Structure 1
Amino acid sequence: MTGCPARYDEELGYWIVDDPALAREVLLDPETFRPDNAVLAHTPLSVKALRVLSAVGFALPPTLANNAGESHRPIRAAVARFFSPARVAAVEPLTRSLTASRVAEAVTVLARGGQVDLVEAVAAEPPALVVLDLLGLRDVDVPALKAWSRESLELFWGWPDEDRQLELAHSAAEFYDWLRSRTTAARQDPGDDLFSVLVDLGLTDEEVCAVGYFLLIAGQETTTQLISTAFHRTLRPAGSRAESEPGDGVEGAGEHPAEVVEAVLREASSVPTWRRVTAQPAVVGDFELPAGAPVLLGLTGRGGPADLAFGIGIHRCLGAGLARLEARVALECAADLLSAVHLVEEPPMIELLSFRAPQRLRVVTRSNTSDN
């Protein structure tokens, strides 16, 4: 993407809005710029993939991110209660404990001369365990949830070919089937968890599953990606600079963890873009867009405020405060580890339409760089 405030990208098939002020205007006008395409598959799904999803009744009716109707407000209010400032603040000790234990395990492996992938070892599971705790969900297979999440992001925001789509569709169908089972259990034996609250709200099974589907992805996988990006910002490749000069030449070194998080949100958030579609002819900058024009908004890395990474207006991310807290705590807990290691390689990246982060961060201690 260039610095042009708005333009049409033929390869992507979207009107690109790079200017932060214009992106903000678009987000604050949901009647003109609707969220109907927010969770549609960027790469049209093949017939085979659709059949797999159809077999489990997979459906994503308007609920949260893709909802511009009257039902949005009560659904959002019900979910927002799980992410109140008080509840988020109260979960910091759990976040710290989960992260610190994983950092300690990583330090042990590194001390023995091994390599550690900081994404898998430290960043992956704590956000999932924390959001499950906040949502009152127990007995969840966290590795399965992580795999479902990554694969669903690729299915809906990636460029998979038909064979890969079929694999991803089977994963999404498995996830959706699990969501249906939790919805059924909530109807039979209601409690105070997410599914019970949504059932009590009067939502259909499909609506409950749709909320659960993307909330359980967005509520933890994007935070894992934010933490991974923040870790990457503080690391350097093996062989760079002298060990006697910790922090020298390292972008992010010496910054307070909260400052690193804000810098990442401004410059390289894990959610760099988001989608809208025009409900009627509209003007963006100097361009006139027809009705039905798909729009891709640049949220980060274009000189805008850090807060824009979470959106603005009625669809602002409900987990913004939680994500900031978890990323800050991760950097605090891993500070000593990060200052003592080198990257083994420049990491491969997750490169999706609206998600970007290091896929892995393999590190060794500086004394073991010869093992590279």
Structure 2
Amino acid sequence: MVRVTGCPARYDEELGYWVVDDPAQARGVLLDPETFRPDNAVLAHTPLSVKALRVLSAVGFALPPALANNAGESHRPIRAAVARFFSPARVAAVEPLTRRLTADRVAAARARLAAGGQVDLVAAVAAEPPALVLMHLLGLTGVDVPALKAWSLDSLELFWGWPDADRQLELAHSAAEFYAWLRTRTSAARQDGGDDLFGVLVALGLTDEEVCAVGYFLLIAGQETTTQLISTAFQRSVGQELADVEGVLREASSVPTWRRVTSTAALVGEAELPAGAPVLLGLSGRGGSADLAFGVGIHRCLGAGLARLETRVALECAEELLGESRLVEEPPMIDLLSFRAPRRLLVVR
């Protein structure tokens, strides 16, 4: 039986997970992907209804093992192919673009505040630059960024939220629309080739479903989680000393938890977890390092360096804006199983 040392895990009846809050334990779990598998990483936390499944089935929606949920032999080549888009050199090279996109939006926001208006810092500044930078890195053109942002938020809620039946059906229609778009891009790449994300994945020999599975969560995680990280950093900086990126990652990352499932019985501290036990790992806000917010081991976030750069640039560009602003309301939150951030940051001068 495998043992992860430290304080014991605890079973949370309400969540239905074995919760591992201790950073050292969480790290140990992530470094043992054979015992603590990623099979449940992108499963819907709230089981999908028959109606929602029918909507998804109509577009061939499928999420075979690709990146975050892949413990098989195909993980390494897929990860290597995607990692090339996020090499340190490529990430460093997008800093001027990131700074220009952010500075333009900050200037527009300051002008609106100076005229006596209100500004939502999430929508006005934090939302679009990470998506535009990601499209640039992945070589993707013709992407409707507002649609991508809406698809992203809906998919996060569908897979990590607690939607009731009516809301779940709405979210399923949104996810189906996103997936149909991914299928269109995959078909075009299969016909025309190319060196963008879809062309590279097709050339790797992946099936259409595998290409779409990579694209589905990469296009969400590669930009929406950074928008949420920037939003949290902004919230902590409005009318105050500028937040530190590493401090935000340690204390309030936009991805505070992640999931695993045991392949065999395992001991976490003195707690004995049976085979097939769902595990929820605390990654942020529990005294661990900033790096833990991006995971460790073979499934560490490929965009960690990019997220840090974009958040740092956003804070630098918005320092004066944040210093001269004040919040006009308690921010409503995105509060999902594994994602947490302000949904809106309405400020006045």
Measured in 2, the distance between the counterparts of 1:93 and 1:191 equals: 26
5+ residue gaps, structure 2:
1-5
Of 130, 134, 137, 1:131 maps to 134
SS in 2 for 1:59: coil
Please say if 1:167 is aligned against 2:170. yes
Q: Which amino acid aligns with 1:7?
A: R
Q: Is the 8 A contact 2:242 2:315 kept in 1?
A: no
Measured in 2, the distance between the counterparts of 1:212 and 1:129 equals: 16
Measured in 2, the distance between the counterparts of 1:173 and 1:254 equals: 40
Please say if 1:270 is aligned against 2:254. yes
TM-score by length of 2: 0.98
Please say if 1:303 is aligned against 2:306. no
Of 174, 179, 187, 1:176 maps to 179
Measured in 2, the distance between the counterparts of 1:4 and 1:72 equals: 31
Q: Which amino acid aligns with 2:297?
A: G
Q: Is the 8 A contact 1:300 1:306 kept in 2?
A: yes
The aligned runs of 1:255-334 (5 Å cut-off) are: 260-334=244-318
Q: Is the 8 A contact 1:56 1:173 kept in 2?
A: yes
Measured in 2, the distance between the counterparts of 1:203 and 1:271 equals: 28
Deviation for aligned residue 1:235: 1.7
Deviation for aligned residue 1:5: 5.0
Q: Is the 8 A contact 1:99 1:122 kept in 2?
A: yes
Please say if 1:10 is aligned against 2:13. yes
The one-character-per-residue Cα deviations of 1:133-188 (angstroms, maximum 9, x if unpaired) are 00000000000000000000000000000000000000000000000000000011
Q: Which amino acid aligns with 1:274?
A: W
**1:240 matched to which residue of 2?**
none
Please say if 1:230 is aligned against 2:233. yes
Measured in 1, the distance between the counterparts of 2:219 and 2:172 equals: 17
Identical-pair percentage: 84
**1:191 matched to which residue of 2?**
194
CA-atom RMSD, angstroms? 1.0
Q: Which amino acid aligns with 2:221?
A: A
Measured in 2, the distance between the counterparts of 1:346 and 1:324 equals: 26
Measured in 1, the distance between the counterparts of 2:292 and 2:344 equals: 26
Deviation for aligned residue 1:61: 0.1
Change (3 A) 1:193 1:31: same
Measured in 2, the distance between the counterparts of 1:269 and 1:5 equals: 23
Deviation for aligned residue 1:42: 0.1
Q: Is the 8 A contact 2:65 2:210 kept in 1?
A: yes
Measured in 2, the distance between the counterparts of 1:191 and 1:104 equals: 36
**2:334 matched to which residue of 1?**
350
TM-score by length of 1: 0.92
**1:116 matched to which residue of 2?**
119
5+ residue gaps, structure 1:
237-249, 366-372
Aligned length: 344
The aligned runs of 1:39-188 (5 Å cut-off) are: 39-188=42-191
SS in 2 for 1:234: coil
Measured in 2, the distance between the counterparts of 1:266 and 1:254 equals: 16
The one-character-per-residue Cα deviations of 1:330-349 (angstroms, maximum 9, x if unpaired) are 00000000000000011011
Deviation for aligned residue 1:285: 1.1
SS in 2 for 1:167: helix
Q: Is the 8 A contact 2:262 2:274 kept in 1?
A: yes
Please say if 1:23 is aligned against 2:7. no
Deviation for aligned residue 1:254: 5.3
Q: Is the 8 A contact 2:8 2:271 kept in 1?
A: no
Q: Is the 8 A contact 1:5 1:18 kept in 2?
A: no
The one-character-per-residue Cα deviations of 1:76-132 (angstroms, maximum 9, x if unpaired) are 000000000000000000000000000011011111100000000000000000000
Deviation for aligned residue 1:39: 0.0
Q: Which amino acid aligns with 1:121?
A: A
**1:246 matched to which residue of 2?**
none
Q: Is the 8 A contact 2:332 2:343 kept in 1?
A: yes
Q: Which amino acid aligns with 1:282?
A: A
SS in 2 for 1:270: coil
SS in 2 for 1:64: coil
Q: Which amino acid aligns with 1:143?
A: P
Q: Is the 8 A contact 1:137 1:193 kept in 2?
A: yes
